[in-house]
Amino acid sequence: MEIAPGIHSIPSVEKRRPGLYPSNVYLLLGPEPVLIDSGLSKEKIVAPRLRYLEEMKVRPRYILITHGHPDHWGGAVEISKATGAKILAHPAEKKPPEGTQPVKDGFKIELGNWTVQAIHTPGHTPGSICYWIPQLGALFTGDSVLGIGTTVIRPKEGDMGQYVSSLQKLLPLPLKVIYPGHGPVVNSPLPKIEELIRHRQERELQVIECLKRGISGPDELVADIYPEVSGRIKKMAREQVMTQLAKLQRDGKVEKKGRKKEEIRYLLIK
Residues that bind Zn ion (CB under 5 A): 69, 143
Q: Supply angle C-alpha 18, 24, 26, rounded to 5.
A: 160
Q: Which is nearer to Zn ion, 8 or 67 (CB)?
A: 67
Contact 185, 139 (CB under 8 A): no
Q: Which is nearer to Zn ion, 148 or 269 (CB)?
A: 148
Closest by Cα among 125, 158, 155 to 141: 125
Q: Least distance in Å: CB of 23 to Zn ion?
A: 8
Q: Which is nearer to Zn ion, 33 or 123 (CB)?
A: 123
CA-atom Rg of the chain in angstroms = 20
Q: Least distance in Å: CB of 69 to Zn ion?
A: 4
Q: Least distance in Å: CB of 67 to Zn ion?
A: 6
Q: Least distance in Å: CB of 256 to Zn ion?
A: 27
Q: Which is nearer to Zn ion, 8 or 69 (CB)?
A: 69
Phi, psi at residue 29, to the nearest 5°? -90, 155
Residues linked to residue 182 through DSSP beta bridges, in sequence order: 23
Helices 218-225 and 231-250 pack at an angle, to 10 degrees, of 110
Please give the DSSP secondary-structure letter assigned to residue 192.
Answer: H
Q: Which is nearer to Zn ion, 46 or 211 (CB)?
A: 46
Contact 35, 66 (CB under 8 A): no
Q: Which is nearer to Zn ion, 33 or 181 (CB)?
A: 181
Q: Which is nearer to Zn ion, 33 or 97 (CB)?
A: 97
Residues linked to residue 177 through DSSP beta bridges, in sequence order: 138
Contact 181, 141 (CB under 8 A): yes
Q: Least distance in Å: CB of 217 to Zn ion?
A: 29
Q: Least distance in Å: CB of 5 to Zn ion?
A: 28
Q: What is the largest distance, in Å, between two alpha-carbon atoms of the chain?
A: 64
What is the C-alpha separation between 143 and 126, in angstroms, rounded?
12
Q: Least distance in Å: CB of 16 to Zn ion?
A: 14
